[in-house]
């Protein structure tokens, strides 16, 4: 096993793409994703990585070129952020419909306007329904580990779905963290060569992307939904296997100090670690609080989530995205929907914070906990609660 070394998280992601024997990378520059593909370009230029790097003229073309390379059975990787993900939007749906196992890292970034290059989850939340497997990672090690797992999951013959790994722009992409890389020979054992069952080949012609009129379109969506739902068991088993091989364990939903907790906070991405500090602070004051960290976003882990909240009275959800004019944040909406049919459910309050790179401190999470309890006591649930907004 390799040593733990200090490394920028973006560099570690580039290393993951190299270790996974990626064949084709098609990417377009956008902050805060650029360091990932710059590092890949360097490795290709130096002959350290045997791959084709397509320097496309837009993110729309980045994902489109990924479709082409995946269609011929090449292992395909890209990375983007914010506006780039939005420009790819329509192409994302085609990638999942054609069951192409493309792996993409998204350095989460706010959306214009006004222009803002810093982290939040508005970009990825807009792609929620595109049929991709989607994870959110908490730290650099997890970003590296789960990128390797993403190839293995996406290319599993029973899955064959594109996989998107979200990491917070700047807060994760641009920080140096202690990261343990994995030996190439061990990665090779973990990720077998890609075998696409229907790659485009002149000796076995297939038609890909035929159009579907009303008599058959619904069936294509039913199949896509079942494929994404049933990928969960593969995701769990690949993460389990990763844990057994490399000693780092990952679950669709993680918990922190939830055993006797009456109040739970729920976060996604890098703020989970900040929230843990807040949980520790509140625990020392005697508050029974805990944290749920949602790692798997699609397919949504309904059962796992419900298990973690069985003994809680309150669940306060942080969204780094706002559904303007809607029911608050998209994560909270989904959490509420997930509990709608449950007999026993916690009181769920949504908060919006950390937009466009605004820091969330442990104090903000403590405020969120206090304010959530206040709202429940006074019964004023309907307003959208934004943390740290200057009125």
Rg (CA), the chain: 21
Residue 62 C-beta: closest distance to another protein, Å = 8
Q: Tell which residue, 206, 231, 343, has the closest CA to residue 297.
A: 231
Residue 88 C-beta: closest distance to another protein, Å = 10
The tokens describing 179, both together, are 């990261």
Count other Cβ atoms within 10 Å, centred on residue 21. Answer: 17
Residue with smaller CB distance to another protein, 14 or 301: 14
Residue 100 C-beta: closest distance to another protein, Å = 10
Residue 199 C-beta: closest distance to another protein, Å = 9
Residue 207 C-beta: closest distance to another protein, Å = 4
The tokens describing 243, both together, are 């844990």
Return d(Cα 121, Cα 119) in angstroms, integer.
7
Residue with smaller CB distance to another protein, 195 or 378: 195
Cα→Cα distances 327→133, 379, 384, Å: 24, 17, 8
Residue 39 C-beta: closest distance to another protein, Å = 19
The tokens describing 357, both together, are 């790179």
Residue 204 C-beta: closest distance to another protein, Å = 8
The tokens describing 93, both together, are 């749906």
> 321, 268 in Cβ contact below 8 A?
no
Count other Cβ atoms within 10 Å, centred on residue 10. Answer: 27
Residue with smaller CB distance to another protein, 18 or 232: 18
Residue with smaller CB distance to another protein, 67 or 294: 67
Residue with smaller CB distance to another protein, 24 or 335: 24
Residue 93 C-beta: closest distance to another protein, Å = 9
Residue with smaller CB distance to another protein, 126 or 199: 199
Residue with smaller CB distance to another protein, 17 or 67: 67
Return d(Cα 137, Cα 96) in angstroms, integer.
21
Query: Which chain residues interact with another protein by CB under 8 A?
Result: 23-24, 26, 50-52, 54-58, 60-62, 64-74, 76, 90-91, 94, 98, 193, 200-213, 216, 220
Instruction: Please tell me what DSSP assigns to residue 326.
Output: T
**3 class by beta-carbon count within 10 Å (0-12 exposed, 13-18 middle, 19+ buried):** exposed
Which residues make Cβ contacts (< 8 Å) with residue 81, sequence separation at least 6? Answer: 30, 31, 32, 33, 106, 107, 108, 109, 123, 169
> 137, 251 in Cβ contact below 8 A?
no
């Amino acid at each position: 096993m390799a040593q733990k070394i200090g490394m920028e998280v973006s560099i570690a992601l580039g290393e993951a793409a190299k270790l996974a024997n990626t064949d084709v990378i098609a990417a377009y520059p956008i902050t805060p994703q650029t360091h990932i593909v710059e590092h890949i370009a360097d490795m290709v230029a130096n002959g350290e990585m045997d791959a084709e790097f397509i320097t496309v003229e837009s993110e729309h073309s980045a994902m489109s070129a990924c479709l082409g390379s995946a269609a011929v059975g090449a292992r395909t990787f890209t990375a983007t952020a914010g506006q780039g993900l939005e420009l790819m939007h329509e192409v994302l749906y085609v990638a999942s419909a054609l069951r192409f196992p493309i792996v993409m890292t998204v350095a989460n970034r706010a959306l214009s306007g006004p222009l803002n290059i810093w982290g939040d989850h508005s970009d990825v939340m807009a792609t929620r329904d595109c049929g991709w497997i989607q994870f959110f990672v908490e730290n650099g090690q997890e970003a590296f580990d789960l990128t390797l797992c993403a190839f293995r999951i996406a290319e599993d013959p029973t899955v064959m779905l594109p996989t998107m790994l979200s990491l917070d722009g700047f807060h994760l992409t641009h920080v140096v963290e202690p990261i343990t890389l994995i030996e190439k020979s061990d990665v090779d054992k973990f990720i077998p060569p890609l075998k696409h069952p229907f790659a485009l080949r002149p000796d076995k012609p297939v038609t890909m992307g035929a159009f579907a009129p009303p008599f058959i379109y619904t069936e294509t969506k039913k199949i896509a939904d079942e494929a994404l739902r049933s990928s969960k068991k593969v995701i769990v088993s690949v993460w389990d296997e990763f844990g057994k091989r490399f000693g780092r364990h990952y679950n669709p939903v993680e918990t922190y100090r939830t055993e006797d907790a009456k109040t739970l906070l729920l976060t996604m991405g890098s703020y989970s670690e900040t929230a843990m500090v807040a949980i520790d602070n509140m625990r020392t004051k005697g508050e029974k609080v805990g944290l749920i960290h949602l790692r798997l976003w699609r397919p949504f882990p309904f059962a796992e989530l419900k298990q973690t909240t069985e003994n809680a009275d309150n669940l306060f959800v942080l969204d780094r995205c706002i559904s303007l004019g809607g029911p608050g944040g998209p994560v909270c909406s989904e959490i509420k929907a997930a509990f709608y049919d449950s007999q026993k459910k916690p009181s769920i309050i949504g908060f919006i914070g950390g937009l466009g790179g605004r820091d969330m401190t442990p104090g903000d999470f403590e405020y969120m906990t206090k304010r959530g309890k206040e709202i429940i006591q006074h019964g004023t649930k309907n307003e959208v609660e934004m943390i740290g907004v200057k009125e």
